[in-house]
Chain A
Amino acid sequence: MKKIKFMSTVLLPLATAVALSACGGNNTSNGSSASSNTGGSASPDAKVTVSITSWRAEASEQEFYKQLQAELNKTAPEIVIDYQPVKATEYNTSLNVALSTDTAADIIHLRPYAAGTAIADAGYLEPIDDLKGLDVFTPEQLKAAQGSDGKQYGVPYMLSSTQILYNKDIFAKYNLQEPKTWDEFIKLADTLKSNNVTPLAFGSKEGWVLSLMHGAIAPQFYGHDFVDKFLKGEAKLNSPEYISSIQALKSLQPYFPANFEGLSMEDIRTIFATGQAGMVIDGHFEIASIQALNPEIKIGAFAVPPVKEGDEPSVSTWVDGSFAINKNSKNKEAARKVLEFMTTKEYGSMILGSTKSPSPIPGVSTDDELVNAISDLASQYGQPYFAVTNLNSGNPTTKSTLETDLQGMFLDAMTPEQVAADVQKSADTWFK
């Protein structure tokens, strides 16, 4: 007990003091999480050290940077990469402290869209509009790392995508085919249900899962031009087409597992991995975890089928971070070389191969059939994951308002119309 008391009397305020004092604008203490590396010109064989900071701290990621070092040195032998990862949940805070105390790394892993824009707007980043190789990306992808001034600040490095994953064995058992239309998809779900297989692994306990899954199917209901119309101010979130996208998610409720209100992503993963459910609307990034739970599972993927026959199917994609140069870096030239390398096919193949993630760089491939299939779907039918690409502003953000509201909808506390009205109200606080 004494120990617990001690913890609460001493350590908590200590933590508060440290956390809060680090926030002060005029604080000059050096953030221990990241320090700029100025080694380079001093070393005799003219090696230049470039530090990179990121929220990806897994062992596999450290390994990836060793590979990157080897590949990079084929064209730029003088560069030494110093990888400085920070725990994901502490990354934003530690980066903010490091930037405001001028101790940040040379190359900074930017969170996508609004969060990255905020850092660019605060003047911490070097514009890279003239960087060689940037033209391999689409304008949509480049938007993930631009400032409000329209200048480019980061190189997009990984695409995330949401699509429908299915259990190939279950599909084979009931003789089911990948659906070509939404109606076929619903029929398929009915077939599974009548055979006592949960059609869709789903759970509404965690909000982020809801916006993820809504984001995946929504473009088929609000139309491929809705995001543009919204940005131009011609459509709103309480417009009928957006409401119908929310209704579509609600209409899938009969196909969810029992007590889905209490299921989190962990449970969704388990239900799908153990063959209790035939399909799941999910991000590519869950595949590795699903396979870890059941290495035997054979997973297939298809795009969200169109409501109207003949329309294009869709998968929702977004850039999951990008790399930018610290404005106060002392090794800008070398950092630019690293960023240039990040636009090459070699780099794209490394991302695809080692992180199993689609790369925004076209024409790269791996020997993993599923990853290739998803990568193809993403480049062929990609639609922006609207909530991340455009609704991630406000406090709380419109995205997190959507998430809790959808949760409310599945608890019968809100109707789709009320959800739409509420998210528009949230957008009104910041969207001009």
Chain B
Amino acid sequence: MGSFWNTRATHLVCEVNNVEDTPTAGTPPRNGTWKKHLIHLFPVPAILFYTLFIVYPIFAAFTYSLFEWKGLVMGRFNNFDNFIRLFTQEPYHTMFWRALRHNLYYFVVEMVVQNGIAFGLAYLIFRKIKGASFFKVAYFLPRLLSVIIVGFLWKLILNPNMGILNAALRKIGLESFTTAWLGNPDTALTAVVLINSWFAIGFYMLILLAGLQSIPEEVMEAARLDGATGFRLIRSVVLPMMFQPMVIVIVMTFIQSFEAFELVFAMQGSTGEPFYSTDLLAVFFYRTAFGGNSGDTGSLGIGSALAVVLFAIIAIISAVFMKYVNHKETA
């Protein structure tokens, strides 16, 4: 699976993460010039590794996107034809915009539900409610499962015929609310996004908790002495002090929503069933590049073009956002 953008984007976040930790250029060692130069060798393995596994695939995908492909055999150079087909030819054109809309929806729901709850949980744990450490572990637990298992589990729970969700609804007299959760286009995408939130909440909670814990105790103390409590404390003190970790959370959520693949693939197949209602850009990419179902041969050229576009979306938006943030930080 080609998801190099994933790594690139994760890397972006790591860079941001480390902005403050970057040491100011140290003074080079003075004893002997060879030792002075030796220091330049240390990053070589890392650079090689980075080039081979990150720079090369990105470059390769971009190259592939400029050629015509016959199955797995590279054909002649055909300029930006693959990109033009992606944006003008059916069914690619419709599929692209529909998938993009789904990714945006994914992002919005994750921001509101997943990060909202994650912040709430982090804050409760931060305020040391009873059993805080137990909850910390409990909420992180789903993250330890493989995505495939998460998908399988929830498929069982949401199964319209045997699943416990519909069974529970019938038990409490809400029969009319039962539906084919994953087969109904009105509920399928939301179901998948919420399951992903359930899976990821613990991770974001930990990031936000770390942010909360980095707020100096004196600041909180001073605010309390001034009489700030409850929402006032959160709005005027906690949130402004949480700028950095929240930016990280937003960018990571953005990247997560735009590279989302495994859960949909595991639960809804390579066409984003039903009737493309859960189709996402990465699933569309997989189907286009490697052939989805029923003997589709796949089209590596258009797939690569899509990968490049997806990479550009994630890289540019993340970069713009980071730039804005850095600007605001220094201002």
Contact = CB atoms under 8 A, between A and B. Distances in A.
B3 A16 contact: yes
B294 A208 contact: yes
B137 interface: no
Given A17-B53, A259-B160, A403-B294, A411 B10 contact: no
Nearest to B73: A25
Interface residues of A, number: 58
B295 A12 contact: no
Given A208-B294, A262-B183, A395-B299, A14 B274 contact: no
Given A111-B295, A118-B297, A404-B275, A13 B60 contact: no
Contacts of A267: 159, 161-162
Contacts of B299: 395
Contacts, number: 166
A402 to B, nearest CB: 9
A17 B56 contact: yes
A271 interface: yes
A236 interface: no
B161 A257 contact: yes
Interface stretch (B118-126, B173-181, B316-324): B173-181
Contact of B184 (A25, A114, A262, A408): A262
Contacts of B3: 8, 12, 16
Interface stretch (A68-76, A199-207, A240-248): A199-207
A211 interface: yes
B143 to A, nearest CB: 8
Contacts of B52: 17
A19 interface: yes
B53 A263 contact: no
Contacts of A169: none
Contact of B183 (A14, A115, A263): A263
A400 B49 CA distance: 40
Contacts of B182: 205, 262
Interface string A10-29: 10111111011101110000
Given A97-B72, A100-B73, A400-B294, A261 B180 contact: yes
A396 B292 contact: yes
Contact of A10 (B53, B73, B162, B276): B53
Interface string B132-174: 0000000000010000000000000011111000100000000
B2, B161, B178, B271 — most chain A CB neighbours (10 Å) = B161
Contacts of A14: 53
6 contacts: A13-B7, A13-B54, A93-B72, A204-B274, A404-B271, A407-B273
Given A13-B7, A258-B161, 13 more contacts: A16-B3, A17-B60, A25-B73, A93-B72, A118-B297, A203-B183, A205-B183, A206-B269, A260-B183, A263-B183, A388-B295, A395-B296, A395-B299
- Give 3 nearest A-B pairs by CB, closest first: A262-B180, A262-B183, A259-B160
Interface of A: 1, 5, 8-10, 12-17, 19-21, 23-25, 92-93, 96-97, 100, 111, 114-115, 118, 122, 203-208, 211, 257-263, 267, 270-271, 388, 392, 395-397, 399-401, 403-404, 407-408, 411, 413
